[in-house]
Structure 1
Amino acid sequence: MLNLETRPWAAADAERLRAAGFPALLARLYAARGIAERGAVKTSLAELLPYAELRNCVAAGARLADAVQGRQRLLVVADYDADGATACAVAVRGLTAMGGVVDYLVPNRFDYGYGLSPEIVRLAAERKPDLIITVDNGIAAHAGIEEARRLGIEVLVTDHHLPGDGLPEALIVNPNQPGCSFPSKSLAGVGVMFYVLIAVRAELRRRGAFGNGDGPNLAELLDLVALGTVADVVRLDANNRLLVEQGLKRMRSGRARPGIRALFQAAGRDPGRASAQDLGFVVGPRLNAAGRLADMSLGIACLLADAEAGALAGARELDRLNRERRAIEADMQEQALAHLETIAVADGYSLTLFDPAWHQGVVGLLAARLKERHHRPAVVFADGGDGLLKGSGRAIPGLHLRDALDLVDKRLPGLIVRFGGHAAAAGLTLAADRLAEFANAFEAACREMLDPAALRRVIETDGELARGEFGLDNARVLRDAVWGQGFPAPLFHGDFLVQGQRLVGDKHLKLHLRHAGFEAEAMLFNHDQPLPERIQAVYRLDVNEWNGASQPQLTVEHWQTRS
């Protein structure tokens, strides 16, 4: 049963947007997402929120300007996901372009775990840095920063994760730290680092460091900013959408850096038609594969490559790792389904699963799949060695996952060894012999924090496409617009006659559908059984590019039989 809800939209807002020059369909979709006037759709870099509003950003700019001019050794310590990798590349590229002496270090998740730990600080100290810059981590690195202080190394934290009860003793740039009035709390780690670079350049300009010039063009880094922002699934508020749109424009105009072009090529995609969906589901997973299965240094090296050949070699290795990741994930999903056969999933508010054979780097993806399949918050654990379990969780709307883990931690101090994350995703470490205790405590927290109605999956759509709205121009407009977390890509629904269907690629259905006076080609992926003659479908309007020709095509996301 498809539980559908149509997003409401104000006709006056849609008409105002249409009169301002937006295509009628896009105007309606924007109105349904809370945009009431053209000024709310920011397209120029001049409209970026000012860096001075980001707490400590000016101070960080001054400190790094001192480091650049003093030729101090800077070491970037990154997270091992796509956001951390792109933030690291942005930091290295931007600071080097301004004359900095910059190196980077990314922890291998299997050897060191997440963040600026004391072990990582000691490893970093071997490179004799004057200043460590964290990107996409550090807000909870109390012990690591204390160790750096003991070793005489200064730390600058750039992060976007939610802080715990107290802040470490360091200069911190994070829109989510107490006392920060920056309007966009949804900056990704790469966005925070980009803002810090703007502050560094402004300070160096003020000091006359660039002579008669303005310094490096930081807009050249926006392809990296766009990739990290989308891949980290942060909320795409107006400021983030602007960053992503500018990055996509660079890709489409042939100005992406070699590493990003190579990742598109390895995936068989054309960066000239890059979309936010490509960043989230094509390029981002290939970059993330390095951190999940190997070492994110591979991904960062690809992003930093100057030569096309080197970038393509790196991208092909990332593509190979991604194929390996998909195979591992498929096996884990099959095993998880077997586990769940012994559980009354519908009776619970959460899912907690562990298998000693599961891969640490893939548990987050499995948690996401289980959350989608069963519409329950899911936490999945793998063996972390030394009597520990390493887990990753994903939440459904209505539950703030980090707050739920915080509630468990406060009620049962010491149960969770460490944790951190966002509303929708979090990671944690647990003693192996306390898994059942955690599962019970997490279930209790979810029951307390979730309204029972939140457990009922509702598919939000933008209503039905009219005959005149199904066309190539609209399909291209929707493809090129920026959609993502908090600004969902359009979905439509309708009743269809299935007038033709055939299997392609052994596991996908190519469909010919009739609906409300128009006919459409459609794809239903990962489904190899014939459909009935009449269906209700939820679908996207896409562009099908084949043999140099383009035509509109529907992609069916959900369906059910209609009588």
Structure 2
Amino acid sequence: MTLAGKQQEREAKLPQQRWQIASPKVEQVGHVAQCTGLFPLLAQVLVNQGIVTSEMAQAYLEPESLSLPDPVEEFPDLTMSLELLEDAIATQKEIIICGDYDADGMTSTALLLRALGALGGQVNYAIPSRMSEGYGINERIVDDCAADGVKLILTVDNGIAAPKPVAKARELGIDVIITDHHELPPELPPANAILNPKLIRMDSPYQGLAGVGVAYILAVSLAKKMEKSQALIAPLLELFTLGTIADLAPLVGVNRRWLQRGLKLLPHSKLAGVQALIQVAGCNDPSQQKTLKPEAIGFRLGPRINAVGRIADPQTVIELLTTDDRATALDRAMQCEQANRERQRLCTEIEQSAIELVEGLQSGDRPQQQRVLVLVEPSWHHGVIGIVASRLVERYGVPVFLGTYEDEARTHIRGSARGIPEFDVFAALQYCEDLLGRFGGHRAAGGFSMQVDQLEFLRSRLSQFAHEELQPHHLKPLVQIDAQANFSQINWDLFYQIDRLHPCGIGNREPVFWTPQVRVLEQRQVGADKTHLKLTLAQVEASNPEERVIKQVMAWRWGEYYPLPDWIDVAYRLRENNWRGEQTLELELLGARVSRVPPPERCEEPEALLSRPAEAQAVEDADKEAEEDCPQPLQEPTLICAEPSKPLPLPSWDSLETLESLQVEGNLLVYGDQRPYISRQQIKGGIEYDRPTQPCQTLLLWTLPPSVVHLKWLLALGRPQRVYIHGKLPRETEVTALRSHLKYELIKSMGNRVNLLELGQKWWVSPSVLVAIMRELGYTCPSFPKTGDLEQELKQLEQWYRSSARQVAQQI
């Protein structure tokens, strides 16, 4: 296959996404940037959300500046709920909290157990069995409560769609308070009081509360009414924060306000369970001790809580979040960790099984034709099919309904559904109401149960609903993009400003940028199963086509699209990567498409800024084709490895342990493999990276250059007065890839000039290593001094990279 054919094959493998790029609004962006001090890129993010005035921007950036209405005025049944609870506490009536087995339900249960217990209540809890009973309060729980003499049931994160169990409880003389946030059914259950944000005015700041948010309002209102709130609010706020983010609640209104407080509390939590959970999840990094970001909860803490409810006993999480004993807390946290690992294994197996089922469908039954995907398999674990459904939505771009059998006789199916922005899952389930037993949820997700003999009718009905609601152009995974950015704009200063937009999540997306025409310099599959991609991308500077800006990129779950085309447009968000105590700024890839504009001719090949070789196999393939095109004997090339002619400066040399100890005078040049970006707040002068364009007073060598000659050029061009050596080692040299790269370069040179300094910088090896390889290949390289074999030269290179500041100074 030719190179052009391989490129076309790569382009065909890219995910078929639809990019929704916000239109630039220059005048509004300029106004918001001026009144907030935000970079225009981030001002565009606010304008995209409809934040166009200084008042709106202040309310968004400083939510504490707004006064909140009293919850009693917003929730009609809150007064009745407080009276019932206060009476139950005063008369020592037993209160049962009926919770749920997801993160929202379990944190809500723990929150009210702590609150009501601290206020003197006789309180216990009941959670239905996911496998045998399904979601929410049921008649079995009501019967058990009646038999135990319970006089008050308090539901959390459920109950709004359970009229029969609630009616039975009332008939048995049990009072019922429902706290929930799910969609309202046509007829509300006959509870004494119902607290649900769906029942309050649409413009209320309490509109976006999750179940744990409603529980938090109830607990705090009761504590204030009983004048016992002082020591209670902080731990409740931590549980509110965990549950709200883990449940993917919209981070707007009071959620945004209270989460800003809660995220600051979590790293210093007084709750033994939260401390233990942070420890086992690896979120206790010193760099995160000021505040946790929502992704730490969404991707680290939340899944460990959720995993227990999905495949284990929810009691584990309830005990974790209510115990004050550190040993018990650590034991329960480890159980959460084990459950999460098992959950990951099950998800991977079920996802692969589902993909195989889809690939085996007839063309007319494919998701794009049906506009919805409905799959049922007996071996799938009900507790994790919701997660898999979300992954399949990302993969196929259609609403997904997955089910499994809930009894050995295979007469009943229980399922989970996930939608796309244009598809209302709850409305779809209502459309199929006559085919279902129970169902519930909201616009984005839902759950259902049904008789097996209704499956084909359900599949047909859902496809009919999807054809009415969706157009063909909707059926691709959506990438929502805020603004176009150049790589030169992506730096630590921008990253730190994004903190002002936090907490980000549903309803307040993290900023997503896109950059056109970037070159894939390096790509490799990573992870145990090569599930992910690690990329090195470069963008040409428009003002100076000779210069490139390099970015490291992580593409989670993109391994199947390997290898990517050489030139692509990319959509991404910024991420801080903490590895062994070192912080680097990288991009998280969200979207990629073939560049619509041809790349600049003068940038056809990767240049000398690349610090590692491109992926070995791709180079070997190019190598073979080049050999087919150039079978003639190769001539000895002219080797370029000149030292600077002008005298070098005599700087002071110092070792640098941490960035905090860096003392900068004047301009700073930062150089090295995977070198960090330095905040401009740390220095008074200017900052340059990699190549000096003007004299610099201070040079920071994150890693040493590939050779003494490289270092001399840095000194000659930068003229530093002080040099810091951090001493970090570059990434390990991949010898096979290096040979293939160099062989390809030699074939291209056709006996002409080969710049050893440029290639050494590109691959982060010394000229001596390159010449050792050339001599292995049969070149004599008469103009270059004698070298050892490749193994010896690589050992000398490693010794060089480990040199101290004193040893380096002696060689200059």
Number of aligned residue pairs: give it: 551
Corresponding residue to 2:366 among 344, 347, 356: 344
- Percent of pairs identical after alignment? 32
Q: 1:524 aligned to 2:555?
A: yes
Corresponding residue to 1:360 among 374, 377, 382: 382
Q: Deviations 1:20-67 (Å, cap 9, x if unpaired)?
A: 445324333222222232123443297445312122112212221222
Contact 2:237 2:262 in 1 (8 A): yes
Contact 1:157 1:172 in 2 (8 A): yes
Corresponding residue to 2:60 among 29, 36, 40: 40
SS of 1:515 mapped into structure 2: strand
Q: Which residue of 1 aligns with 2:312?
A: 294
SS of 2:131 mapped into structure 1: coil
Q: 1:478 aligned to 2:489?
A: no
Q: CA deviation at 1:182?
A: 4.2
| Structure 2 Cα separation of the partners of residues 279 and 365 of structure 1 | 16
Corresponding residue to 1:284 among 299, 302, 317: 302
SS of 1:333 mapped into structure 2: helix
Letter in 2 for 1:344: R
Q: Deviations 1:326-371 (Å, cap 9, x if unpaired)?
A: 1111111111112112132221111111011111111211211111
Q: Which residue of 1 aligns with 2:235?
A: 220
Q: Which residue of 2 aligns with 1:241?
A: 256
Q: CA deviation at 1:183?
A: 4.8
| Structure 1 Cα separation of the partners of residues 194 and 439 of structure 2 | 20
Q: 1:541 aligned to 2:574?
A: yes
Q: 1:447 aligned to 2:467?
A: yes
Q: 1:492 aligned to 2:507?
A: no
Contact 1:251 1:274 in 2 (8 A): yes
Q: 1:116 aligned to 2:149?
A: no
Residues 382-397 of structure 1: matches in 2 within 5 Å?
Answer: 382-385=404-407, 387-397=411-421
Q: Which residue of 1 aligns with 2:175?
A: 154
Letter in 1 for 2:538: R
Q: Which residue of 2 aligns with 1:131?
A: 152
Contact 2:413 2:450 in 1 (8 A): yes
Q: 1:169 aligned to 2:193?
A: no
Q: Which residue of 2 aligns with 1:512?
A: 536
Q: CA deviation at 1:407?
A: 1.7
Q: CA deviation at 1:201?
A: 2.3
Unpaired segments ≥5 residues, structure 1? none
Q: Which residue of 2 aligns with 1:141?
A: 162
Letter in 2 for 1:335: S
Q: CA deviation at 1:441?
A: 1.1
Structure 1, 51-60 or 467-476: larger mean CA deviation: 467-476
Q: CA deviation at 1:452?
A: 4.2
- Judging changes above 3 Å, is the alpha-carbon distance between structure 1 residues 530 and 178 closer, same or farther for their aligned structure 2 residues? closer
Corresponding residue to 1:23 among 25, 38, 53: 38
Letter in 2 for 1:389: I
Q: CA deviation at 1:95?
A: 1.7
Q: 1:406 aligned to 2:411?
A: no
Contact 1:190 1:228 in 2 (8 A): yes
Q: Which residue of 2 aligns with 1:75?
A: 96
Q: Deviations 1:416-435 (Å, cap 9, x if unpaired)?
A: 11111101111111001111
Q: Deviations 1:223-280 (Å, cap 9, x if unpaired)?
A: 211221122122222222222222112124x136332232222222236352112222
SS of 2:586 mapped into structure 1: strand
Q: Deviations 1:96-131 (Å, cap 9, x if unpaired)?
A: 222222211211211321111101212334543221
Q: 1:314 aligned to 2:336?
A: no
Tell me the TM-score normalized by structure 2: 0.64
Q: 1:559 aligned to 2:592?
A: yes
Q: Which residue of 1 aligns with 2:282?
A: 268
SS of 1:176 mapped into structure 2: helix
- Judging changes above 3 Å, is the alpha-carbon distance between structure 1 residues 476 and 223 closer, same or farther for their aligned structure 2 residues? farther
| Structure 1 Cα separation of the partners of residues 293 and 540 of structure 2 | 29
Contact 2:376 2:402 in 1 (8 A): yes
Tell me the TM-score normalized by structure 1: 0.91
Contact 2:487 2:551 in 1 (8 A): no
| Structure 2 Cα separation of the partners of residues 466 and 246 of structure 1 | 34
| Structure 2 Cα separation of the partners of residues 516 and 50 of structure 1 | 55
- Judging changes above 3 Å, is the alpha-carbon distance between structure 1 residues 373 and 340 closer, same or farther for their aligned structure 2 residues? same
- Judging changes above 3 Å, is the alpha-carbon distance between structure 1 residues 516 and 32 closer, same or farther for their aligned structure 2 residues? farther
SS of 1:510 mapped into structure 2: strand
| Structure 2 Cα separation of the partners of residues 126 and 8 of structure 1 | 62
- Judging changes above 3 Å, is the alpha-carbon distance between structure 1 residues 479 and 317 closer, same or farther for their aligned structure 2 residues? farther
Q: Deviations 1:57-92 (Å, cap 9, x if unpaired)?
A: 122122212222222221111011000011111111
Letter in 2 for 1:519: I
Letter in 2 for 1:405: L
Corresponding residue to 1:469 among 464, 484, 489: 489
- Judging changes above 3 Å, is the alpha-carbon distance between structure 1 residues 554 and 509 closer, same or farther for their aligned structure 2 residues? same
Contact 2:106 2:317 in 1 (8 A): yes
Off by >6 Å, runs of 4+ in structure 1: 178-181
SS of 1:441 mapped into structure 2: helix
Q: CA deviation at 1:161?
A: 0.9
- Judging changes above 3 Å, is the alpha-carbon distance between structure 1 residues 328 and 457 closer, same or farther for their aligned structure 2 residues? closer
Query: Larger relative contact order (C-alpha < 8 A, sep ≥ 6)?
Result: 1
Q: Which residue of 2 aligns with 1:305?
A: 323
SS of 1:28 mapped into structure 2: helix
